[in-house]
Structure 1
Amino acid sequence: MFKRLAFSLGAVLLTGTLAACGGGNNNAADNEEIDTLVMGFIPSQDAGEIATTAEPLEEFLSEELGIEVQAEVMVDFSGLIEAMRTQQVDIGFLNPFGFVQAENRADVEVILKSVRHGEDSYVAQYTVPADSPIESIEDLLEEEGLVWAYADDLSTSGFLFPAKQLIDMGVDNLDNHFQRFSVGGHDNAIMQLIDGQADFATTFDDARDTLAGEFPDIYDDLRVIGYTDPIPNDTISVRSGMPEELKQDIVDAFMSLNDNEEMLAIMHEIYTWDGIVEADSEDYDIVREVFAEFEDDLAN
């Protein structure tokens, strides 16, 4: 099976490289000719590891759908959204905010969402070094200049929900109050605390798990000081113009992972998913409220 790893931004994805593989020619006018589906991932850990880990999932879905499925690891959410808008990516593993933005910009449709620890929602977590004087989220408001590490400006749990919470708690200007440090992954945000490069990090709950194998004392060395309100879980979304029959086949194929221990183990390794359930756009109304807070800042 042809496999390729894309580490370019959305602008590079507009080239003919992907189109030559089939994904770029997928549209409502030639649905019957679809012979390749491209899945877009955003790295929550090392991108190369995700690409390798996803190979059995590619093969499984290809067999289930009777269509070649390719996994592409994108640099960031903006690149994935642009790739779905231009129909270079057919299936996107979008976080909640990424989905809301992609729905607005690219008319994508959510079909499924993840289950973790038996729940279809999660919270963002604030973490500090164990010896930090910071004891609570409220303490973050008391001192200016703290270094704040997080995955990405478009990360729902990494930045947007914590940012909204901090604003609601009284921070007038995030840029003036904190030194913001976007580091490209939740594991990287936690690493900034281990390396002493940040005062606090915001991630999904519990991002320490991603590094526990390498740092067995991480739960003693890093301390959780608080959480945000619940956030609906990550999505599996499809591009606009996806044929209804194929869309249902994709739903059925992913739902069958719930009865496949090997494939669930892969999803857990990629994104710590324990299961998959069907999803509707309305499930993400709370995310739209947060999006409205930052829409002007993130429009460009």
Structure 2
Amino acid sequence: MARWLLAGLVACVLVARPVAASPPPDRGTHIRALTFGILPMGGPTESLEAWRPMLDDLSRALHLPIHSLSVSTYEGLGQAMAEERVDFAFVSGRLALDAVTRDRMQVIAQLTRTNGSRGYYSLLLVGKDSPLHSVDDMFRQPGRLRYARGEVLSVSGYLVPETQLFANRKLDSDTFFASVMVDNHQNNALAVANNEVDVATNNTADFERFAKRFPDQYARLRVLWTSALIPHAVVVMRTDLPAELRQRVTAALTSYGKGRNAAAELAKLQLIHDISGFSPAGNETLVPFADIEFNLDRRRVYSAQWVSDSAMQTRLRRIDAEHEALIRQLMAPTRP
């Protein structure tokens, strides 16, 4: 228990100490600069270095300085958006839902990959020589295995495996395993490779990046399970910024890697990892992520203990109503 509490305290410290590439901009009466928030990929410094070349190009195209902010956790980025410390950000679908419904932001673009894929997949990783050869093998060992997962806001690191694997069996991963470690995809994969845990969540995009950075450790790993397709991450932007500016940012972002400097720009996108650019998108892009949350909430209801069937049905009706309202909000036209 002491170790668990210490890990929580460390996570809180990481949230409170974002890594910024430069001082926050002076908002003033006019927009003098923009701040871009970066979804954690590996470490915050690594993420800043990967995004900086593309952001410098966007800055020149917009004739506006673009500062950047990278944090160690999903919660840290969510907090930065809630406090309006970022103007636009690259985020997972789950973070984007909060940004759109709570933080006055809207989806303006969605990541595209070089291979033309429509999304990516959540993974469960085990050691190459692990005795686990299927998820059934894993589920036959309650309370015996060590688990590493992503934060609760991570779609591939928590929400999808929790929905598609554990909740389907009326289980909670946090109580099924002997121990649970919460970290980013890179560190979780390293934990399996170094035999610190038995099973870890990951995703196909991050696992490809891991293979290039840590080839020796990659060779020690094996994929145990692959999820259904997850739509790519998105870029969200504050709706209280001037409409003309939002339109310019969207145009610059979605045209990047497609014009006369396409070859050089695509090379800079590759630094982020096999990104071919960004396509125009709106809040409706988040419907699949809302459905993931909805399905997980309903499955948790069925696995919980209730004083009566009436109480359970009341909770289910509330979940249904909240989901329907969210879908209406996401499908509603957004102002330019």
Name the TM-score class by shorter chain: 0.7 to 0.9
- Are the aligned partners of 1:124 and 1:158 in contact in 2 as well (CA < 8 Å)? yes
Which residue among 92, 96, 101 is the counterpart of 1:95?
92
Shift of 1:217: 4.5
The two structures, once aligned, show a CA RMSD in angstroms of: 2.6
> 1:161-201 CA deviation, whole Å, 9 max, x = no partner?
11111234304232210222111x21111111111111111
* Cross-structure match for 1:86: 83
Give the Cα–Cα distance (whole angstroms) in 1 for the partners of residues 68 and 263 of structure 2.
Answer: 20
Distance between the aligned counterparts of 2:193 and 2:109, measured in 1?
Answer: 35
Which residue number in structure 1 is paired with residue 181 of structure 2? 181
Unmatched segments (≥5 aa) in structure 1: 1-6
CA contact (8 A) 2:14 2:72 kept: yes
Cα 1:265–1:204, aligned 2, differ >3 Å: closer, same or farther?
Answer: farther
Residues 36, 69 of structure 1: CA spacing in aligned structure 2 closer, same or farther, 3 A cutoff? same
Alignment deviations for residues 58-115 of structure 1 (CA, whole Å, 9 cap, x no partner)? 3211111111101111222222222222221001111111111222221310111111
Distance 1:198 1:128 in 2: 9
SS of structure 2 residue aligned to 1:172: coil
CA pair 78-18 structure 1, distance change in 2 beyond 3 A: farther
Cα distance in structure 1, aligned partners of 2:36 and 2:265 = 16
Where structure 2 has 5 or more consecutive residues not aligned to the other structure, the ranges are 1-11, 301-336
- Say if 1:239 and 1:124 are closer, same or farther in 2 by CA, change over 3 A: same
Offset at residue 18 of structure 1 (A): 5.8
Q: Are 2:99 and 2:236, in contact at CA under 8 Å, matched by a contact in 1?
A: no
CA 1:138–1:105: 2 relative to 1, 3 Å: farther
Contact 2:120 2:205 in 1 (8 A): no
Correspondent of 1:273 among 275, 283, 291: 275
8 Å CA contact 1:100–1:288 kept in 2: the answer is yes
Larger CA deviation: 58-67 vs 70-79: 70-79
What is the rounded CA distance, in whole Å, between the counterparts of 1:257 and 1:195 in structure 2? 39
- Give how far 1:246 is off: 1.0
Report the CA distance between 1:268 and its aligned residue. Answer: 3.0
Structure 1 or 2, whichever has the larger Rg, is 2
Q: CA deviation at 1:11?
A: 5.8
Distance 1:91 1:8, change over 3 A: farther
Percent identity of paired positions between Structure 1 and Structure 2: 26
Whether 1:59 aligns to 2:56 is yes
The alignment of Structure 1 onto Structure 2 pairs a total of residues equal to: 278
Displacement of 1:150: 2.5
Q: How does 1:1-300 map to 2 (within 5 A)?
A: 21-22=25-26, 25=27, 30=29, 33-116=30-113, 117-145=115-143, 146-178=145-177, 179-183=179-183, 185-218=184-217, 220-259=219-258, 260-292=262-294, 293=296
Distance 2:123 2:204 in 1: 5
Q: When you count helix as a share of all residues, which structure comes out higher?
A: 2
Distance in 1 between residues matched to 2:13 and 2:253, nearest whole Å: 27
